Chain A
Amino acid sequence: MSAALLATQSAATHLLAGPVTSTGGGETFLFWVGASISVLGALGLIFSKKAVHSALCLAGVMICLALFYMAQGAVFLGVVQIVVYTGAIMMLFLFVLMLIGIDAPESLTETIRGQRWAAVLVAVLFGAILIGVFAHAKLGPFAGMDQANAAAGGNVPSLAHLLFARYFWAFEVSSAVLITSALGAMVLAHRERVTARRTQKELAADRFKRYSKDPSVIVTPMPNPGVYAQHNAVDTPALLPDGSIAQLSVNATLRAQGEVRGITPLPVPLPHEAADGDGASPAGANGSGRHEEVGA
């Protein structure tokens, strides 16, 4: 308790004293926890097989970075990091992931032989060079943000004074960048319809024309996914009359990923249970579970 108090006190004196060579206990704790989480998250981003998991790992890294910003006196940036990055940009990523779907896992064949190991080597060397540069640079003591933040009465007003005075031109240009990118996204995502939209009648006629040449073409609508008492989910396959699984009843994406849920066969009704029924139910042989429910 007293140690923690001492740590906060020393942190406070550090913050007040200006130049910092060592942070307080709280920030040290935050750094080591956040640094390990963010490095693990970055590794998860690179090595997870599913793109959605990568996106979640990246969101975790970004939240850790937001905490670091706040701990370093950049409160506004920390909040913006959470709102803009984890809130808007990552959701945009997830949105696009949903749009284009994940139909096939990434191919692991190397188009350039040995490229993967070469990439690891290059990245390790690059990181070593960066760290070496930081280690050898004469960085000097940290001045701390308190004086700069207090100049206009807080982090946000001080930033605003800079942004709308010295960096005003850059700020205006960034608005042009944003408008251009919004227009660009609209142009890129827009699809011009070059042929008239085909009506349902034409589609049906076309389907039957194909059926006349190839009997394996399905002319009826696809079967719905099976919804049983066991699972109320789209990955549950429907059953054919002979009890086998109708593969077509499950979405092609789920089939490609091998995520079709298996079914546990329903219990076969025993002869005396079927005879026990009130006789009014015509579904005597349909399944003992349902029958019992009706009887109770």
Chain B
Amino acid sequence: MIEFQNVSVVYPNGAQALREVSLHIEKGEFLFLVGPTGTGKSTLLKLVYRELTPSQGQVVVNGEDVTRLPASRVPYLRRRIGVVFQDFRLLPQKTVYENVAYALHVIGTPYREIRRRVALAIDVVGLGRKAASYPGQLSGGEQQRACIARAIVNNPPILLADEPTGNLDPEMSQDIAQLLNDIHIRGTTVVVASHDIAIVNALRKRVVTLARGRIARDEAGGGYSPDEPEAC
């Protein structure tokens, strides 16, 4: 489903974010990307939804080499990938309902279909009562739920989450992790970048540890503790 082949990323300032990373993610898999800040977790995710292109190597998503995707095709790639951010990135002038609906409007979904699917997505994340609220009126956890609802409303085969619990308290984090797991159970491929030990250890999924831009460990059903030696 997602394939990294020998991928390296060098930022314009010369910083090397990824070094010859190869990684294969199966359809329907749930994978944690862990490691200290600055080891390339976000970079890896950005390559999938073409926020970035690698300096070297190939990234194949749904059988398509996204590194060679023309700019005009990028929106269509993103419609098949839901993305959840640490800072939520909700449109401040739109209600929860409108934020979620926006993702469907831009792909030309009929209004009746939009109403049905938005209601469903908001229900899945448990935000039914807040549908008419603006992001500024919501707590961090609620905003993250809205962000997740927007990411899944389109039923994308892939869901990416970049530090989804980074701004949340531990209790809220467990709820969000559970929500991501529920989405995975419905058949979505989920990739979560996180250094939140609690949620990684709670779910016992495949864990890929990054260290200084390389894959240091790749374990099924693994856990994560920050004092592990950072092997290269």
Say whether A associates with B: no
**Residues on B close to A: CB < 8 A?**
none
